[in-house]
């Protein structure tokens, strides 16, 4: 019985290693312009790695996202 529990525990723990870490907390936001084209950016602190990275979004997403809120970036596995 102990072997079955140990094997199950190892199997469940190994699943977490394959988890994608594409969510975090919005640390900052702003707008940059490149040749007149706006980049509505959110700087997000990754909840797995604690790294921060800036991402550009359209104005609608940017307006609905607020510093301190949780946010996931769907096209990124991790950063």
Is 15's pLDDT higher than 50? no
Threshold 0.75, pTM exceeds: no
- 64: which 2 tokens? 């609905």
**Confidence at 70, pLDDT banded by 50, 70, 90:** very high
- 11: which 2 tokens? 């199997």
DSSP label at residue 20:
-
Mean pLDDT of 45-60: 96
């Amino acid at each position: 019985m102990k072997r079955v529990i140990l094997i199950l525990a190892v199997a469940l723990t190994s699943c977490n290693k394959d988890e994608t870490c594409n969510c975090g907390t919005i640390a900052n936001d702003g707008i940059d312009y490149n040749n007149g084209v706006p980049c509505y950016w959110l700087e997000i602190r990754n909840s797995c790695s604690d790294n921060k990275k800036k991402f550009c979004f359209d104005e609608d997403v940017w307006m609905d996202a607020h510093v301190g809120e949780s946010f996931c970036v769907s096209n990124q596995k991790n950063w």
